[in-house]
Amino acid sequence: MTVSALTRPGERDRLIVKLAELDWVFVLVLSLIAGAGALMLFSIAGSSWTPWAAAHVARFGICLLLMIALAMIDIRVWFALAYPVYGLGLLLLVAVEAVGDVRLGAQRWLSIGSFSFQPSEVMKLGIVLALARLYHGVSAERARLSWWLLVPALMIGVPVLLVAHQPDLGTAMLIALTGGAIVMLAGLSWKVIGAALAGALAVIPPFVMFGMHEYQRQRVLTFLDPESDPSGSGYHILQSMIALGSGGLLGKGYGLGSQSQLNFLPEKQTDFIFATLAEEFGFVGCVSLLVLYAAAIFMALRTSYLSHSHFGRLAAAGVTATFTLYVLINGAMVMGLAPVVGVPMPMLSYGGTVMLTVMIGFGLVQSVRVHRYAEVTSGKGSFV
Amino acid sequence: MTQPAIFFAEVNERQGLFHRRAILLGAFAGIGISALGARLAYLQLFETQRYEKLATSNQFNFKLAPAPRGVIVDRNGAVLAANRPNFRLMVARDKGMDTEATLKTLASFVPLDDARQRRLLKDIHNAPKRAPVPVMEDMSWEQFSAINVRAPELPGVTADVGEVRVYPHGGAFAHVIGYVAKVNKDDIDAIGKAGGVPDPIMLHPGFRIGKQGVEKALDAELRGRPGAHKVEVDANGREVGHDVDGDIPAVPGDEVQLTLDVDIQNRALEVFGEESGGAVMMDCRTGDILCMSSAPSFDANRFVRGLTGAEYRALSGYERKPLLDKCLTGLYPPGSTFKTMTALAVLMAGIDPEARVSCGGGMNFGGRYFHCHKRGGHGSQNLHDAIKNSCDTYFYSMSLRVGPDRIAQAARAFGLGQTFDIGIPGQKKGIVPDPAWKKRYFSKNEAQQPWWPGENLSYAIGQGYLQVNCLQLAVMTARLANREYKALNPRLIKSVGGKERPRGSDAPDLPFPREHIDRVRAGMAAVTDQSQGGTAWRASQLGLGNILMAGKTGTAQVRNYDSGGSRGKGGTWGLRDHGLFVAFAPIDQPRYAIAVIVQHGMGGSTAAAPRAREIMRTALLKDPELISGIQKPLPMPEIIPDTELDTVPAVSNVERTI
């Protein structure tokens, strides 16, 4: 296929062309990360495909196919579905408030038949789509500083408060930060950004002391001084840091990490899988993984540059922001730089929900890439 | 990557703004990931050693293992206390384990009745998680191996081999050596009170602490230094591996050699039979204690296992008191054996030993008639006769001229009224009275304080306030018999860990002229001399040719006969007289000295002397030098060639088995 052929009308709508337009290097990077995850899950199960490694590989395979399928969907369909998805997410959050299951002391799960899921995951994508859709039809002037900004503030605030009430502070924070990132990318005035940051800094300490649940406060206080309670709530952080530190430059060797193999490391297959990798493969392994993550982030971010539509840009950048936050928050937590919050390392940690969410998000990013020249109308209420 | 030939740039303000802001987002991500990398570098490159240490201390635990306890042997190396393997079964509570079902399963391997299962279930639930509770000790090898094979299917169950103390001679050494037992709260508290910190090994379920005698006194030396097993554990504390190379070997406890002789000691307990009392034999050349036996005794092995309540009640409730050490702790009036000391006091006072006292069966003093043990009287007695016949009247009479201070001085010089540094606890000092002592003793009651002259009389025949223990009597006799005229000290512990303890013969001379001591010895020789008709001649014949034994009998009242009754020669056991005998042999070159007390045995010559003779015979017959003087070599039997032997294959290559 020649470059000029792509300029032919309709050429870009052909499936084969669309597939070729996918960022296959990006797919490779994601596969490497998921492969590293499978490798570690195989190791900590005592060199066994069960219970985690095989399921992880299978899930990634399905999610990858889903991502490619979603990338084929026209960006205008995404555009049209933006508000409905957000609305559905909001509805589900209200529903979970009313009839959700209580698991581990938090009301996060909604069961439909035998299938149960966390509606907050829908909202992670919904907020990106809805804000991108919103800003698509807004002038730079308004986006910078105006009373209109109350609309995005409300769109972010309502789901955040609902999720925080479950209570799931980690997800609430993630949604808030993702939303904030999009608002920032759309051109919010530095004055407002500065004021919001200052306000947040002022509000956090009293919120930690008075607004949090006991276990949440404990986590935060433990983070500030992990060795105050090494066998209690400081245990997670301390054991994780021991696993990391004892890995050294080259690690203890595959399958030889005492911290993870002997169960000293809690949640070793999910939130703390990075520590497992760090223990067995050392600094070299960790940095290699971080490079992969950085590559994924920059490739996704670059996609947002390519888009000709404002919706595409903001949507791709929003998903990138979510993914970046996942990586940074989990990394900081595992390394003892942040309190323990239930945020897994995307693609590496075992767990279907987050992988599904992230891969759907990347489906959107790839759709933006594939349809980067598509003209998205900004007409009000226009469907497709 | 393919690029369109025509680039439709949508140049507007929003796009420019987005691009600038997106760079910020990229920068944020870049800085964030770099920060993570920096943090990783710090943790993994600079702090590695610290975290490696923490990981290792997570992964490996050192499990203390008690050292083999030191062996206790007699003077010839015969084992008196050793260790034997003990197959133990232990169960610990663990997560996700059905303790009740586990015990039921175990009951099919070892006898565990329902009541015991219930008790164990309670113990296991009260014990800390994963702390093993002993379910059964001393399993047979079959039981042990059967459970060991099944152990992987039985979580929380461990069958291991520990060591348990064993006393091959049962009761013969129980009072001297004592026994070991589990550490109890009192032991821990005692250490805390003394300002120390209990050794962590004390909390080990297999550890035993010395509770009495040598086991207690030399506990630190016998204990050795515990070793440790390096075990790999998981986060739940379960053992998942054992690093044999990382083990710290235990240092076994020191071997303790006693001066006791196993044959003499066993014989001593034997000759006591049903009787109660003590026998102490010393080598009167070196001071070594060859025998220190208290009867009746108890089996120390039972204490190691842990006594049942019924067993303990039976032992402590028995009137002959098996738990009491009658050699060191039991105090008795020495009776006439003490006349040796009075005789020395008489000589010390400058009284002519040939001075005579006429015995008509007693004497009047202070309005009271003091009987001699011989109703008809001994007639005219000098010092030699008085010792030989144990004439009370002679000593009554002399005591008034000698006075209590001289008697006390002699008694103290010969070791009465004091304890000796023999290395084990439990010695009682006894009482050697004199006016000063009495004043101190009755400091609150002035009317009792003066020393009445009448007290001299009972003092002279070893009664009154005077109280001694059996070891003191043996020391007294050994000092009397010592050919160097030294104030010999007893020694019980010959060596600890190969290091010899000071000998008892490194002692100062006795503060008495030698001829005084010789006179007393001669008197004692007459006691057992048939031709002179001494008090104990019948019971003191050793039957070893010209090897003869000298001695002194004693019959001590335990109550005042003035109130009537059977005069201590019968009736209620607890009110009968004590029988005592002190002796040494051979007379010409004394080697062994012995003191025997038969509690409520009624007569020194009837109860104590025959027993002393038997113990003495055992010692003499074991003495290599004496044996060589008596024994003649056995005639070699003539070897008659056996024709049948030729058919037997050669045995020279067959390994000898012992």
In tens, the pLDDT along B542-597 reads 888 888 899 999 988 887 665 544 556 667 888 888 999 999 989 989 999 999 99
Angle between helices A119-136 and A169-185 (to 10 degrees): 10
Q: Is residue A7 part of a domain?
A: no
For A98, the token pair is: 């009313």
CB contact under 8 Å between A3 and B5, yes or no, is yes
Question: Using a CB-CB distance cutoff of 8 angstroms, which residues of chain B are in contact with residue A263?
Answer: 234-236
In tens, the pLDDT along A213-262 reads 777 777 777 776 666 656 565 778 888 888 989 998 998 889 888 888 88
- Within this chain, do residues A230 and A356 fall inside the same structural domain, yes or no? yes
In tens, the pLDDT along A281-323 reads 999 999 999 999 999 999 999 999 999 889 999 999 999 999 9
For A241, the token pair is: 């840091």
Mean pLDDT of A79-99: 90
Question: What ipTM was reported for this prediction?
Answer: 0.92
C-alpha distance from B4 to closest chain A C-alpha (Å): 6
In tens, the pLDDT along A30-73 reads 999 999 999 999 999 888 998 899 999 999 999 999 999 999 99
- Counting Cβ atoms within 10 Å, is residue A245 exposed (0-12), middle (13-18) or buried (19+)? buried
Q: What is the pLDDT of residue B9?
A: 44
Q: Is A3 helix (H, G, I), strand (E, B) or coil?
A: coil
Question: Using a CB-CB distance cutoff of 8 angstroms, which residues of chain A are in contact with residue B40?
Answer: 244, 278, 283, 286-287, 290, 335
- Within this chain, do residues A49 and A124 fall inside the same structural domain, yes or no? no
Question: Which of B2, B6, B21, B25 is most worth mutating to test chain A (most A CB atoms within 10 A of its CB)?
Answer: B25
Q: What is the pLDDT of residue B568?
A: 64
In tens, the pLDDT along B287-315 reads 999 999 998 999 988 888 778 888 888 88
Q: Which residues contact A265 (CB under 8 A, 6 or more apart)?
A: A239, A240, A243, A259, A272, A275, A276, A279
- Within this chain, do residues A131 and A236 fall inside the same structural domain, yes or no? no
Neighbours of B298 (CB within 10 A): 21
Q: Is the pLDDT of residue B468 over 90?
A: yes
Q: Which has more pLDDT, B265 or B425?
A: B265
Rounded Cα gap, residues A203 and B54, in angstroms: 37
The tally of CA atoms less than 13 A away on the side-chain side of residue A192 is: 18
Q: What is the pLDDT of residue B184?
A: 81
CB proximity A243 to B under 8 Å? yes
- Within this chain, do residues A132 and A20 fall inside the same structural domain, yes or no? no
Report the first-to-last Cα separation within chain A, whole angstroms.
Answer: 29
Question: Using a CB-CB distance cutoff of 8 angstroms, which residues of chain B are in contact with residue A184?
Answer: 21, 24-25
Mean pLDDT of B126-146: 81
- Within this chain, do residues A219 and A323 fall inside the same structural domain, yes or no? yes
Closest CA to A86 of A183, A197, A216, A175: A175
Cis upstream peptide for B296 (omega within 30°) = yes
Amino acid at the residue B449: Q
In tens, the pLDDT along A169-205 reads 888 889 999 999 999 999 899 999 999 899 988 888 8
Query: Do the Cβ atoms of B227 and B249 come closer than 8 Å?
Result: yes
- Within this chain, do residues A296 and A334 fall inside the same structural domain, yes or no? yes
In tens, the pLDDT along B239-287 reads 777 877 878 888 899 999 999 999 999 999 999 988 999 999 999 899 9
- Within this chain, do residues A27 and A114 fall inside the same structural domain, yes or no? no
**DSSP 8-state secondary structure symbol assigned to residue B448:** G
Sheet holding B276-283, edge to edge: B289-295, B276-283, B592-599, B578-585, B550-556
Q: Is residue A382 part of a domain?
A: no
Q: Which residues contact B646 (CB under 8 A, 6 or more apart)?
A: none
Q: What is the pLDDT of residue A115?
A: 60
Q: How far is CA B422 from the centre of its chain?
A: 11
Which of A4, A304, A335 is facing B5, going by the closest CB pair? Answer: A4
Q: Is residue A380 part of a domain?
A: no
Rounded Cα gap, residues B335 and B458, in angstroms: 9
Rounded Cα gap, residues A269 and A254, in angstroms: 15
Query: Do the Cβ atoms of B399 and B407 come closer than 8 Å?
Result: yes
Domains in chain B and their CATH numbers? 62-258 (3.90.1310.10), 262-313+321-355+381-492+502-628 (3.40.710.10)
Cα–Cα–Cα angle for B569, B574, B576, nearest 5°? Answer: 15
Q: Is the pLDDT of residue B4 over 50?
A: no
Q: What is the pLDDT of residue B249?
A: 87
Q: Which has more pLDDT, B63 or A85?
A: A85
What confidence category does residue A116 fall into, taking pLDDT thresholds of 50, 70 and 90?
A: low
CB proximity A337 to B under 8 Å? yes
Q: Is residue A121 part of a domain?
A: yes
Question: Using a CB-CB distance cutoff of 8 angstroms, which residues of chain B are in contact with residue A140?
Answer: 12-14, 17
Q: Is residue A277 part of a domain?
A: yes
- Within this chain, do residues A217 and A202 fall inside the same structural domain, yes or no? no
Of A206, A241, A274, which residue is a domain's last?
Answer: A206
Question: Using a CB-CB distance cutoff of 8 angstroms, which residues of chain A are in contact with residue B52?
Answer: 245-246, 248
Calculated CA dihedral for residues B137, B140, B142, B145, nearest 10 degrees: 40
H or E element at residue B580: strand B578-585
CB contact under 8 Å between B29 and A324, yes or no, is yes
Q: What percent of chain B has pLDDT over 70?
A: 93
Q: What is the pLDDT of residue A127?
A: 95
Q: What is the chain A residue with the closest CA to B239?
A: A262
Of A150, A182, A206, which residue is a domain's last?
Answer: A206
Mean pLDDT of A337-349: 87
Question: Using a CB-CB distance cutoff of 8 angstroms, which residues of chain A are in contact with residue B5?
Answer: 3-4, 7
Rounded Cα gap, residues A38 and A322, in angstroms: 23
Alpha-helical runs (H) found in B349-495: 383-389, 392-402, 404-413, 435-441, 453-460, 470-481
Query: Do the Cβ atoms of A188 and A149 come closer than 8 Å?
Result: yes
Q: Is residue A9 part of a domain?
A: no
C-alpha distance from B309 to closest chain A C-alpha (Å): 43
Phi and psi, residue B161, nearest 5°: -115, 120
Question: Using a CB-CB distance cutoff of 8 angstroms, which residues of chain B are in contact with residue A312?
Answer: none
- Within this chain, do residues A55 and A176 fall inside the same structural domain, yes or no? no
In tens, the pLDDT along B527-545 reads 988 788 778 888 888 888 8
For A115, the token pair is: 């299938």
- Within this chain, do residues A228 and A199 fall inside the same structural domain, yes or no? no
Q: What is the pLDDT of residue B651?
A: 47
Q: What is the pLDDT of residue B652?
A: 47
Q: Is residue A4 part of a domain?
A: no
- Within this chain, do residues A187 and A116 fall inside the same structural domain, yes or no? yes
Rounded Cα gap, residues A319 and A304, in angstroms: 10
Q: What is the pLDDT of residue B643?
A: 61
Domain residues for the domain of A198 are 80-206
The tally of CA atoms less than 13 A away on the side-chain side of residue B190 is: 8
H or E element at residue A310: helix A310-334
* Number of compact structural domains in chain A: 2
Q: What is the pLDDT of residue A218?
A: 76
Tell me the pLDDT of chain B averaged across its residues.
86
For B439, the token pair is: 């004043």
Distances A96 to A86, A117, A171, A365, B193 between C-alpha atoms, Å: 15, 10, 15, 29, 63
Closest CA to B611 of B572, B642, B582: B582
Calculated CA dihedral for residues B272, B275, B278, B281, nearest 10 degrees: -20
Rounded Cα gap, residues A377 and A383, in angstroms: 9
Q: Is the pLDDT of residue B8 over 60?
A: no
Query: Do the Cβ atoms of B219 and B253 come closer than 8 Å?
Result: no
H or E element at residue B25: helix B13-41
What confidence category does residue B6 fall into, taking pLDDT thresholds of 50, 70 and 90?
A: very low
Rounded Cα gap, residues B479 and B590, in angstroms: 11
- Within this chain, do residues A183 and A225 fall inside the same structural domain, yes or no? no
CB contact under 8 Å between B232 and A246, yes or no, is no
Mean pLDDT of B648-654: 47
Q: Is residue A8 part of a domain?
A: no
In tens, the pLDDT along B368-391 reads 888 898 888 899 999 999 999 999
H or E element at residue A284: helix A273-306
Query: Do the Cβ atoms of B233 and B260 come closer than 8 Å?
Result: no
Q: Which residues contact B632 (CB under 8 A, 6 or more apart)?
A: none
Which of A242, A262, A331 is facing B234, going by the closest CB pair? Answer: A262
Of A184, A206, A228, which residue is a domain's last?
Answer: A206
Q: Of A37-41, B159-163, B203-207, B282-286, which range is least confident?
A: B203-207
Q: What is the pLDDT of residue A138?
A: 85
In tens, the pLDDT along B24-71 reads 999 999 999 999 999 999 999 998 888 888 888 888 888 888 888 999
Q: Please, what's the b/e burial string for A88-111 (b: 16 or more CB within 10 A of its CB; e: otherwise)?
A: ebbebbeebeeebeeeeebbbbbe
